Amino acid sequence: MISLSTARKLKEAGLTWIPALHDFFAIPDRGLDDRVFVISDMHAYVEIRNNLPVVTFHGVLEWALDYLLTEEVVWLPREEQLRVQLMRQLLSETQPSLRLTGSVGGYVCEIIYKGEIENFESQEASEAYAAALLYILRRS
């Protein structure tokens, strides 16, 4: 999963989010920066009952936040979501190219953008994809 910092940069660069089931997001600047939330249709919790761990299900979660606008949260796209977003951005290229390879330091995402080969390296594949996507969004 990409960092909140990277996700914020993507949002600022214009990455749009249409929320969907199982998407991850963060609620920044409210004392919850270190928490990751997921869009779910059922709440499940692990509780201890009779000294044994059990999974319990709850239909309604009572919380001080009734709702948030999507503008107030930051989407934390998964690796495959970043790859799809990158491929969409590259569709207008005459020779669209996207490749992820392993490296000594982690992963290298190579794209051909505007006729130039660009490489983005990171320890995590998702961060390498995110760096490439951020590069394109900032130049669009």
Tens-binned pLDDT, residue by residue, of the chain (140 aa): 999 999 999 999 999 999 999 999 999 998 888 899 898 877 777 888 889 888 877 655 555 556 778 889 999 999 999 999 999 999 988 888 999 999 999 999 999 999 999 999 999 999 999 999 999 999 98
Nearest to 133 by CA among 101, 104, 95, 90: 90
Q: What is the pTM of this model?
A: 0.85
Q: How many domains does the chain have?
A: 1
Residue range of the domain that includes 65: 4-139
Whether residue 82 contacts residue 75, with contact meaning beta carbons closer than 8 Å, is answered with: no
| Cα gap 60→123, rounded to integer Å | 38
- Residue whose C-alpha is closest to residue 15's, from 118, 23, 123: 23
